Amino acid sequence: MRKKIIAGNWKMNNTISQAEDFVASIIDRINVSDREVVICPSFVCLDTVYSVIENTNVKLGAQNVYFEEKGAYTGEISADMLVSCFVDYTIIGHSERRNIFSETDEMINKKAKTLLTRDIKPIICVGETLEQREQNKHFDFVKSQVINALKDIDEKSVAEKIVIAYEPIWAIGTGKTATAEQANEMCKFIRDTISELYSKKVADKIRIQYGGSVNAKNASQILNMPDIDGALVGGASLKDEFVSIVNFE
């Protein structure tokens, strides 16, 4: 049985004091053990958020990493730095990183491999544009993103460490959620792709999240779909509403 994983991607929101106050206000209500909960604040808030969630079941996540070990890469953050902040998960390949900061599949693959060397679990984001969906190219596109992101990654890592987040770009921050059926259809397609690439055993183990306008109202419908193993939540993870999403029934 795959444990559901609900992660809050704060994106570029919350100062240190806002982060501390907010997490302190919800921590007792998101400290659950039957599902995994991850908070992904900005880099500057990692330490503060950790100080609130330390000694609970809630895990810490980062929103990005650079693939080189160290050196002259002004403004970048290494996997070792994330380890030193007690980061368990790191989001890579978010569509905002791909589109605004021109990240390529190749970079995302390097980032995944770098994180795995430091035992940080990558949350790899994939997802199509509205245009691709309308042209019925969404399956091929997402398949190529999955194949490229996982290039040369061993099956044990894929089964046990990697999380894939299916985030259709047209559903991010738009209030326009994919239907639970559309989301499940693509998550199942991703699972079938993993089965082809690795094995059914690996496909049965890997966790695949849905992300895109998940909120307290639609969470339970989405999260009860058979191939959806969790949610990557943006806007609603900044509000008390996150508590209801985590505690969906």
Please select the residue that binds ligand 13P; options are 61, 211, 222, 227, rule is CB under 6 A: 211
- The answer to whether the CB of 68 falls within 8 A of the CB of 78 is yes
Confirm or reject binding of residue 173 to ligand 13P (CB under 6 A): yes
From residue 88, give the alpha-carbon distance in Å to each of 122, 128, 144, 183: 9, 27, 27, 26
In angstroms, give the least distance from the CB of 48 to ligand 13P: 21
Binding mask 138-167 for ligand 13P (x = CB under 6 A): -----------------------------x
Mark the segment that binds ligand 13P (CB under 6 A) among 20-28, 80-88, 137-145, 209-217.
209-217
Clarify whether 94 is annotated catalytic.
yes
From residue 233, give the alpha-carbon distance in Å to each of 10, 104, 212: 8, 23, 7
- The answer to whether the CB of 214 falls within 8 A of the CB of 236 is yes
Confirm or reject binding of residue 238 to ligand 13P (CB under 6 A): no
Confirm or reject binding of residue 212 to ligand 13P (CB under 6 A): yes
Burial 215-248 (b: 16+ CB within 10 A, else e): bbebbeebbebebbbbbbbbbbbbbebbebbbbb
Q: Which of 36, 94, 96, 241 is catalytic?
A: 94
Binding mask 9-28 for ligand 13P (x = CB under 6 A): x-------------------
Catalytic residues: 94, 167
